[in-house]
Structure 1
């Protein structure tokens, strides 16, 4: 694969990123849809940013990315965008998702205060440190643009620094996964993250191997394309492992999937835990009940706001007030509400 093949890889990746952009817009417009909301969309927004920046950085490593670059372009595009705000941010998003699982499913708490501050400081420190080194290190131990081959190269100091930070990130992620190994959940969250981490680890090993393979001048396009692909693949495995099913089901079987999703959580009595994990208030209807309102009042207001109800039409169905939340691991009133008002006529899987 020469330069034309490398350019084809760039074009394909750009098209995939456009699909990702459409998915992000769809998620934002449907951010109140419970299965999407519970996927921790802020984490996925930041993941999308990391995917975009990593692509910019890895594309600038390639020999077919365009001529006329300088050292500053290499330091900014590869060092800042590709690594500090791309690769390191992506691994940090994996860590933060597993960290939220550990807090919610294992420790039965939401990370607030110092427990939320420490991970943020940790992520910012690593990215800032690498970004500073990308600029202060000389070209002999930092980034260098080689005009003869039109590539950005990372020399010893910055290369091994990036390697060390990635090893630290991998070890932290491994420890979090070990801590979360016995978490009880509804949708195989741990298994999904285990698959994602496995793909990331394999692709990371391949990327390291690529750096130690000698490519002839005529094969530098292959080197660039491999860097792009093996950075691109694990990020998209994570992106669509988390968002693929909710997006697809929300398009094809929106209401049925919503109720199947809620019933699954209710059957296992983990509503409160999912609130902690995703900051998604599954018991929000119980707040109305706690404020002295009944389901009749809720339905009255919803019916009058969304229909042409008049006294000649049947009124809303009346039922007793919704129950308050009891056991911390029991389902919220929203789950009971959906279960009591909907009878499934289509079997929908949630995993």
Structure 2
């Protein structure tokens, strides 16, 4: 089949590539894992390239990487995990009347006294900025190509996009962004490389609240951990959401579900033990149980969550993983 696929790509017929290549491989790859997207083209005159992308979805990155690691070596084919970084001189994104390039995009950094390790950037578009959604999309596409998919998804904590008339600081050429991010990454790693949290320090508290709809919320949170002064050494927050039928118990799980959900959570905790992850706690309310973790990386927990989802088809399970250096997701518990 690789010869047939090669011929399809070599002809550079977009419709044929979609129909005779992507539509053929997509169902097969979805059997391995959902969330794959594809890019293809000729890497050189005799080599076709297939890029497996996950559109920046953190929880799927490891599966794209492992898929490519397991790919066979084929003559005339190059397989790549995630969109690679490109030479900025070759990047120009057109969206209608908008042009996004090194000449129209600048940036500056916001320093936050309360969150000194947060990388909060403002990207400034030099042009008509009336359509904020369009310029944000264009800037994101440009950055995805310039930084590469992995770096764009993992190196920047928060960002906004503004027009040049809204800029509040001196503009920095976008060409300097890579060096800036690498410097901040080195600084961060050096600062927290020795920080470790011992599980024996856990102090769980049972908490109860009422939702706006009047239903109860029950939580069990490690309040000692939420006061940890080196949270940023575990910057990846992971949330495992499991939906159950709690309509007969005011939104809380009944005995059978409670026991099954506890077993699932304990399995995750056991799988992550000693792997650079912390168990923060859990919350149940309104037919949903959420289990909370924080980690030094996102790859292992992505695989554990995915296995849990596959092994428990009787529940609707929604894993989420995101970067949150200061665990602002849990402000409700630290401020009340």
TM-score, scaled relative to structure 1: 0.23
The structure whose RCO (Cα within 8 Å, separation 6+) is larger is 1
Instruction: Determine which structure has the larger helix proportion and give its number.
Output: 1
Higher-Rg member (1/2): 1
